[in-house]
Amino acid sequence: MNSSPRQKSRLTGNIVWNYFSGIASIVGLLLLYPFAIAISGAEAYGLWVLAFGAIQLFTLSDFGLGTGIVRLLAVIKDPLERRRFVTLATTIFLSLGVLLLAIFSVAFPAYLNTVSINAQVAKLLPLLVPLTGFTLFVSIAGRAYNAVLWAEDRPDIERKSSLAGLILRAAGYAVSFWAGWGAVGVILSEAISLMIPAVVCAIAVFRRYSWPVFHRGSFSIHGLPLLKMSGVLFIGSFALLAGSQFPLYVVGTTLGLTAATAFGGLMRLYQSCRLLLSWIANPFIHPIMTSTKEGLLALYKRCAGLVWSLGLLLAIPVFILSKDIIDIWLGRSSEFAQGALAMLGIGILADAVIQPASQLVNLRRNPWLISLANMGVLLLSIPLILWASSSGDITLTTLATVVVPFVACPLYLIWAWQTVGLRWTKELTVNAALLIAALALLVLVLLLFRAIPIPILGLALAGLSELAVAAVGYLFIRRRMGAQLATG
């Protein structure tokens, strides 16, 4: 089935909005982070960084329910059944939010007992814990409404509201600085900005589906399949996110709040890059779900090409300009994090390969494959992270965080290529290994250019290397995949 002009226009519009809002969010966060530290103080803001990490972990993983909603709602055609499904799905999310709020209220204060907190910063705890819990609850609910909009092929609504939240956050910083509210004002500004997309998405869903429609048979018809599917998807998404958040809490315990602030900035940048990559991939959710088997290859090539290109574009400056970025962004007091920032480039490259492949396999094949792979990556990463953190070296800790996903890229690629119709052959495995070897070579070249004393020259040479690798990789994959499909 060929896409209609309206569908193509919607896909293009979604991609444009994801690019625009994603880049604006990353730039905004980069610019605002040092202001937040300056207004709050490094230790006080470090406390919020740890709280924000918990919100991010549970909201982004969403227990797999978000992707489950997209997959199941997309195939329901009857308007009344769609309303019943949306009612049930949002009710499950709200129940999950209540459960997570209760767990957080106990677990987070217990974790803070392992962190060294001075008396002045400890005064924030009566506000921080309940505010973070409430923000977590609202954000979890927002994931349900956002998933419904994804199934409606309207991810742009959440992107626009996120951009509005970022603008409000900047305004909150300015008011906090002018009024002398300090850390309290910054924390309130960030919490409110995080909740804005959830509220906007809830309103958008209400306008489409009106009031909830409860039905006694909905749980057996829709609820059980949703929970069954989401359990599989949750294992994978939570494992992937836990692998990137776990080092933050290790750093908070071993090195203190000031180090957690710097490391949290790196993780926020890393997660922003990962989110940007996902925002580029997300507009392809609806086309992939509704495409014929024959159309999957074209969709995957387009999605992967965009995500890989952006991943390279993000990773290159991180590699080459990490020293300058840290000096300008967080100041010379955070010079210890320069090497760690460079290591995040490896993680960005890995995620650019993994995200399109994971999305394709989750939507059109067996989500257990991705879930088990992500869990394996986490189980291998945890001992590496604990070993690296015992040295007190943040650079080594960051490398331990990203190296396992990087090495695992071929596995995700093989499954994606099979999903679009390629047969499992020795040649397919060799192709994936050659691609990851090319990425590894690119990393070594980037590290070499990083040593050039003139940063702009290193960046230019790295850019040329990026274009060469991208061109060779594109031609290689296009020829090999086309040949297999022609003979398969």
Summarised one tens digit per residue, pLDDT across range 61-86 is: 666 777 778 777 877 888 888 888 88
What is the distance between the alpha carbons of residues 183 and 53, in angstroms, rounded to a whole number? 17
Phi, psi of 4 (to 5 degrees): -75, 160
In the predicted structure, residue 362 carries a pLDDT above the cut 80? yes
Model confidence pLDDT, tens digit, residues 313-359 = 888 778 777 777 787 777 777 778 888 888 888 899 899 999 999 98
User: Tell me, what's the pLDDT at 191?
Assistant: 93
**Cβ(399)–Cβ(343) below 8 Å:** yes
Residue 351 is predicted with a pLDDT of 92
Which pLDDT does position 25 carry in this prediction? 66
Which amino acid is located at 66 in the chain? G
* Residue-level pLDDT at 196: 93
Contact 140, 279 (CB under 8 A): no
Mean pLDDT of 378-384: 89
Report which of 47, 96, 406, 85 is spatially closest to residue 258, judged by C-alpha positions: 47
Question: What is the value of pTM for the model shown?
Answer: 0.71
Average pLDDT of span 419-440? 70
The H or E element spanning position 282 is none
The continuous run of DSSP H or E covering 210 comes out as none
Closest CA to 142 of 207, 66, 87: 66
With a cut of 90, say whether residue 1 has pLDDT above it: no
Burial call 39-76: b when 16+ CB within 10 Å, e when fewer? bbbbbbbbbbbbbbbbbbbbbbbbbbbbbbbbbbbbeb
pLDDT tens sequence across 90-149: 888 888 889 888 988 898 889 888 888 888 888 888 888 899 999 999 988 888 888 888
Buried b (16+ CB within 10 A) or exposed e, 269-308: bbbbbbbbbbbbbbbbbbbbbebeeebbbebbbebbbbbb
Q: CA 45, CA 174: separation in Å to the nearest integer?
A: 16
Tell me whether residue 6 is exposed, middle or buried, using C-beta atoms within 10 angstroms of its C-beta: 0 to 12, 13 to 18, 19 or more.
exposed
pLDDT digits 0-9 by tens, 457-477: 655 665 565 556 555 555 555
Find out whether 350 and 405 touch, Cβ atoms under 8 Å. Answer: yes
> d(Cα 427, Cα 358) in Å, to the nearest integer?
21
- Of 55-64, 90-99, 283-292, the range with the lowest mean pLDDT is 55-64
